[in-house]
Amino acid sequence: MMNFQAILDLDKAHIWHPYSAFNADAPVYPVASASGVRIELADGRQLIDGMSSWWCAIHGYNHPALNQALEDQLKKMSHVMFGGLTHAPAAELAELLVTLTPEPLQSVFFADSGSVSVEVAMKMAIQYWNAKGLAAKQTFLTIRNGYHGDTFGAMSVCDPVNGIHSLFNATLAQQYFVDAPRCQFGEACTESDIAPFEEQLQQANGQIAAVILEPVVQGAGGMRFYSADYLRRVRTLCDRYNVLLILDEIATGFGRTGRMFACEHAPVDPDILCVGKALTGGYLSLAATLATLEVSATISNAEPGVFMHGPTFMANPLACAAGVASLKLLMASPWQQAVSQIEQQLEKGLDGCRQYDGVADVRVLGAIGVVELVEPVDMAIVQPMLVDAGVWLRPFGRLLYIMPPYIITPADLQVLITAVTDVVVYLSTRHDASS
């Protein structure tokens, strides 16, 4: 087994990490194992995970039920192509997804990752209108501050100015954007909030295939929480102006906001829904795009008579088995109570951060706690601080945030809250000293 330094040396020599420079000096931490809510580093240190491994490990790590599901499936087959073949894990997972998601969604297309599920949704929308004889409907409308993935179609509906993909703007398909709503979660949507959205639908109605939104919570685009009433008004406008509604629940799905899906806060039913991340409990990469029978039947009954997408590892049996086990585990657990308790503790614990001059806002929804700072986080300083405090959190931009596994105990959550508060105090002191 490689030791701590050997792993670091090989990593630095050959591996390119997400959103990083190759051969960068930024610290990385070799992991030896993970169990429950703890990540054990190769040097023996243990960290309480406050990120759910980018929001997917909702049951924690090394869960016996998920381990057993993969062991059982591995004895049968690890993979088989999905063209012309099917298997029990895919059928069972599709049934679970149709049962859990809004009732109109009856068709399930399995994809490799969240970004790919967005690509699939966008292609579905374009192919749907082409089947309807409205081939000019090729573009998409969304709100600023959104994030939908890193592939080219997904990038085109991410924020074009403040997002992370502005470098590619000249290459990306040009979409329609309106300002993100100012009405916050829990507030009513005013006419001034929704008016720009309707104006854009009026002006470009013949070109817009679908609206795409992250319902209620904008994730990597800024961790913004907006009015559920705004989402309800958007659904009404989509119906009025004859465009499809795609909801991206990759980050918010499977209980993260306190509802099984964030669109239930409105409540609204999308025409197309994207899910991923927590779908397999963080065990394997898998996503899905669900559509109404109107969408799937329209595409299937027109030229060329098929939907034009087909990943090699579509509906991988191992991943589908993990998905079935994860969803069954979630449904059998008191997840609503767990998320509610996390929400209450985050609200109480992070509230004290509001008093510091370096803090712009503190907000909590479900198992999401966000401290927005005035200045960007200096990762070279803050990441080692957090590791030294015994926690794994990964701030970005001006945001310190906690999205823990649902199984976290109050004591472990308090350690995360204390670590965030300590960073806020430290950064605020530096901010005051430089003012």
Enzyme catalytic residues: 19, 147, 248, 277
What residues contact 344, with CB distance under 8 A and at least 6 apart?
Answer: none
The set of residues, in sequence order, having a beta carbon less than 8 Å from that of 195 and lying 6+ positions away, is none
Listed residue (425, 288, 275) closest to 352, CA to CA? 425
- Angle between helix axes 191-203 and 228-240 (nearest 10 degrees) is 30
Two structure tokens written together for 58: 């909702």
Reading across the β-sheet that carries 176-178, which strands appear in turn? 105-111, 287-292, 272-275, 244-248, 208-213, 139-143, 176-178
Contact of 230 with 181, CB cutoff 8 Å: yes
**Which residue, chain included where needed, has tokens 């659904």?**
235
Hey, what amino acid is at 237?
A: L
Separation CA 162–CA 174 (nearest Å) = 16
Strand duo 399-402 + 176-178: pairing: unpaired
Q: Which amino acid is at 41?
A: L
The owner of tokens 């990490």 is: 17
How far is it, in rounded angstroms, from Cα 74 to Cα 283? 14
Residue 110 host element (H or E): strand 105-111
Is 90 in contact with 317 (CB distance < 8 Å)? yes
- Nearest Cα residue to 57 out of 278, 327, 262: 278
What sign does the dihedral 87-89-90-96 (CA atoms) show? positive
